[in-house]
Amino acid sequence: WNIEGAEVVAMDGPSGVGKSTVAKAVAQRLGLAYLDTGSTYRAATRITLSHGIDVCDEEAILAELTAHDIDYGAEGIEVDGVNVATDVRTPEVTANVSAVSAHPRVREHIVAIQRAWAHRHGDAAVLEGRDIGTVVFPDAGVKVYLTARPEVRALRRAGDTEAANSSVDEIAEKLAARDKADSTRAASPLRAADDAEIIDTSDIDIDEVVGLIVDLADR
């Protein structure tokens, strides 16, 4: 299929930069479908954990993944037709998702699911993740990389349900560990594409970020 993706809006960056909120709003403003690709890796992690598979065992993870259907519907991530949006946000999944998503063949499998999803949406959609502009849709028409200062990101994450019982310091520590794992892995590490627009969201509000990206898309 066409993976040129000229009508794809690729939004990458670490967690806590406001990616999901901004990406959803951009999709709505542009009338495009929205895919949270982190949730596809979270679904793979949940499948791995619920079958008692070692997160280091790429072969076993891949074998189990091929026996399941991961998809993204209007209400979010689904495994075998069942919505698992809440189940993929547990601390256990969050603690293990970097390990599962570091395996190159697991990524290949998941990226194929993401591209097939985009294709079903006419290759015109907003995709949010870590490697959309670099690997999944390197020819995306709009590429944005969101960043924010570490303390701002930790404070934002503290407001999420998955972090309900943790202190901001604990969250900051876990964020730093996950960033490190995600950006130093060999396969498709977290990084800004050379041609991505870099937006620091620390001191500007969501509406302004959304406006900037919609302008980019219009151009």
- Contacts with ligand DC by CB under 6 A lie at 15, 37-38, 41-42, 97-98, 101, 129-131, 178, 182
Q: Which helix (H) or strand (E) holds 63?
A: helix 58-65
Nearer to ligand DC, 60 or 95 (CB): 95
Nearer to ligand DC, 98 or 201 (CB): 98
Nearer to ligand DC, 46 or 130 (CB): 130
Q: Which helix (H) or strand (E) holds 172?
A: helix 168-184
CB of 167 to ligand DC, least distance (A): 19
Pairing type for strands 124-129 and 142-147 reads unpaired
CB of 202 to ligand DC, least distance (A): 18
φ/ψ (deg, to 5) at 9: -100, 115
CB of 179 to ligand DC, least distance (A): 8
CB of 58 to ligand DC, least distance (A): 14
Nearer to ligand DC, 37 or 219 (CB): 37
CB of 98 to ligand DC, least distance (A): 5
Rg (CA), the chain: 16
Residue 116 contacts residue 18 (beta carbons within 8 Å): no
**CA neighbor of 5 nearest in space, from 150, 139, 163, 168:** 139
Helix (H, G, I), strand (E, B) or coil at 188: coil
Residue 175 contacts residue 150 (beta carbons within 8 Å): yes
Nearer to ligand DC, 53 or 97 (CB): 97
